[in-house]
Amino acid sequence: MNFRGHTENAGEWLRGSGPHADVVLSSRVRLARNLAGLPFVAKANRRQRYEVLESCRMQILAKPLSENTQFVHLNDATPMDRQLLVERHLISRQHGAAKNDMPRAVAVGSEETFAIMVNEEDHLRIQVLRSGMQLSDAFDQINGIDDMLEEKLDYAYSRRFGYLTACPTNVGTGIRVSVMLHLPALQLTGEIDKVKRAARDMHLAVRGMFGEGSDAQGDLYQVSNQTTLGKGEEEILADFEQTVVPQIINYERQARQALIRDRGPQLDDKIWRAWGLLTHARVIGTKEVLSLLSHVRLGVNLGRIEGVDTRTLNELFLLTQPAHLQQHSQEEMDPGARRIARAQLIRQRLGRV
Amino acid sequence: MNHKCDECDRPATHRAVDVVDGKKIPVHLCDIHAAEHGLTGANPHLPVSELLNNFVQKHSGADTQSRSAENLHCESCGASFAEFRESSLLGCADCYGAFEGPLSALMERAHEGGTHHAGKVPRRAGVGERRQVAMRLLRRRLEDAVQSEDYETAAQIRDEIEGLA
Ligand SMILES: [Zn+2]
Ligand SMILES: [Zn+2]
């Protein structure tokens, strides 16, 4: 597999650029598709899964989806490589962890702007990633990919239910649009739960990017649509991009201004303590890193701290994860050794060796 | 088991009971007529997992109707409705037809009242199908416009619908 060289950098989607990059780290659009005439993945036997894999592989590689599309058979990949792909958001945790002898794959486009999982929950899960708030661009690209694949692949489709998916919560358009949001101020002011409730009332799913349950480490949240049937793609996209997400961005920005206004010294203290720890720690775990990075990132976006850019911080969210860290050090490490290597990598990246 | 809508020829996707002169009369309606009778759009704010749970509870009860849903099988892949309850995953494309009755209610609640596809249509499905979906979307937008008393937009959409028909 060829991602090893890439692991010194994050994919295109963590560049730290794009509209509203102070709050929106990245945008993602995903389409779920299945081939007609074959059972869905969970009910398919080995032979049928191979049939799906081969049909999709041939069509994906026959089309000019990107300059250099890589097709990775996950059943041949090492656990470390699979973990790298999970950390880079190119495959789901579930796809990385599935039984090894089950034929499944991922196709990754140049610059990692798209990834197509084959034989995950659905035969095809196409996703496009962009940095910042660029959902419309992401949708245009994914729609083009879908058109090209559809030229030869016969999709399971019904008049009433649209694109048929293994789980009926994805049926219809099969589309999931999501953004990764950095919401540290809403967390600090304690308004985050209110926002989460409001988002759920608008039929959105809100999840922490890292960590389990309600505690979103690094104050990073993924917000996505849930309704896929009865609305068109453009309508789903427009609701999300023009109404829902701008509202959340606004709440976060207001909370940031309120913090500066009402609790300026305490805010600066948080930011500078985080900076102090990141640049001087010798042993550090992921959970603490995520929380400190979050506060420094907030400081950079508010102009309270200088000499470090958002891109470097975004990349550290990724590069300090276990598989990336081991890849960087070129060796397998136990958690204790990782904590030392992690602290060192951070000091290097922040220019304080 | 497969009833037609009491008001038109479409398959019934909703059942209810009317009480007339103290007698219970079963009512079978399609999506459109169910909406007219106010049978749809109940609590659109349930998250999906909760929804599945409610659904599962409702259909694991002891009454005969739910038992009949439990016993449904898909002839193409052999999946049972009980398996779907366990995993929330269907076995194949034909499961949608095999379980259409119980699935319809579930999907409508999972999709904010959405019952019919209104998005992209694969090229091979043909021009006729694409026009139908476009119509469906326009009719829905028309309803929205009328509901929000935006008569200007409503008039525009009406023109578009006539253009398509
Ligand atoms: Zn009817
Ligand atoms: Zn089936």
Q: Report ipTM (2 d.p.).
A: 0.88
Q: Is residue B121 part of a domain?
A: no
Both B33 and B81 in a single domain?
A: no
pLDDT tens sequence across A251-286: 999 999 999 999 999 999 999 999 999 999 999 999
Nearest to A230 among B91, B113, B125 (CB): B113
Q: Residue A64 in contact with residue A170, Cβ under 8 Å? A: no
Q: A residues 131-150 near B, CB within 8 Å?
A: 143, 146-147, 150
**Residue B159 sits in which domain range?**
127-164
Mean pLDDT of all residues in B31-35: 62
Within this chain, do residues B1 and B55 fall inside the same structural domain, yes or no? no
Is residue A89 pLDDT above 50, yes or no? yes
Residue B32 pLDDT: 61
Are the Cβ atoms of A205 and B47 closer than 8 angstroms? yes
B64 part of a folded domain: yes
Domain shared by B54 and B10, yes or no: no
Q: Are residues B55 and B3 in the same domain?
A: no
- b/e sequence A170-182, b meaning 16+ C-beta within 10 Å: bbbbbbbbbbbbb
Provide mean pLDDT across the span A58-82.
Answer: 91
Contact A203 B112 (CB under 8 A): yes
Residues B133, B159, single domain; the answer is yes
B24 — contact with chain A (CB < 8 Å)? no
Distance A309 CA to ligand 2 centre (A): 52
CA pair distance B69, A124, nearest whole angstrom: 29
Nearest alpha carbon to residue B112 among A225, A115, A249, A117: A225
Which residue from A170, A171, A177 is spatially nearest to A238, judged by alpha carbons? A177
The pLDDT value given to residue A127: 97
Contact A231 B45 (CB under 8 A): no
pLDDT at A137 over 80: yes
SS (H, E, C) A251-309: HHHHHHHHHHHHHHHHHHHHHHHHHHHHHHCCCCCHHHHHHHHHHHHHHHHCCCCCCCC
B89/A167 Cβ within 8 A: yes
Question: Using 50, 70 and 90 to split pLDDT, how confident is the model at A222?
Answer: very high
DSSP state of A321: S
Q: Which residues make up the environment of ion ligand 2, defined by Cβ < 5 Å?
A: B 74, 76-77, 79, 91-92, 94-95
A234/chain B closest Cα distance in angstroms: 8
Residue corresponding to tokens 């190119």: A90
Nearest by CB: B93 against A156, A167, A230: A156
Q: Are residues B89 and B57 in the same domain?
A: yes
> A79: pLDDT confidence band, cut at 50, 70 and 90?
confident
List Cβ neighbours of B143 (8 Å cut-off, separation of 6 or more): none
Q: Could you tell me if residue B90 is inside a domain?
A: yes
3 state DSSP class of A206:
strand
Which of these, A93, A56, A48, lies nearest to A73 by C-alpha position?
Answer: A56
Q: Which chain A residue is nearest to residue B141, measuring alpha carbons?
A: A231
A334-348, B9-23, B54-68, range with the lowest pLDDT: B54-68
Do B99 and B59 lie in one domain? The reply is yes
> Which amino acid is located at A341 in the chain?
A
Q: Which of A166-170, B8-12, B87-91, B105-109 has the lowest mean pLDDT?
A: B8-12
**What pTM value is reported for the model?**
0.81
**Structural domain includes residue B122:** no
B116 found inside a domain: no
pLDDT at B41 over 60: no
The answer to whether position B144 is within a domain reads: yes
Beta pairing, strands A24-33 & A124-131 = antiparallel
pLDDT in tens, A236-253: 999 999 988 999 999 999
- Mean pLDDT of all residues in B97-122: 89
Instruction: List the end-to-end C-alpha distance of chain B, in Å, as a whole number.
Output: 34
Q: How far apart are alpha carbons A70 and A8 in whole angstroms?
A: 19
Asked if B140 and B156 sit in the same domain, the reply is yes
Compute the CA torsion angle B54, A172, B104, B3 (nearest 10 deg): 180
User: Averaged over B5-34, what is the pLDDT?
Assistant: 68
Angstrom distance (rounded) from CA B130 to CA B126: 6
Q: Does B53 share its domain with B11?
A: no
Same domain? For B69 and B106 the reply is yes
The answer to whether position B17 is within a domain reads: yes
Q: Count the domains in chain B.
A: 3
Tell if the CB–CB gap between A42 and B103 is shorter than 8 Å: no
- Whether B52 and B77 map to the same domain: the answer is yes
Shared domain for B95 and B66, answered yes or no, is yes
Residue B142 within any structural domain of the chain: yes
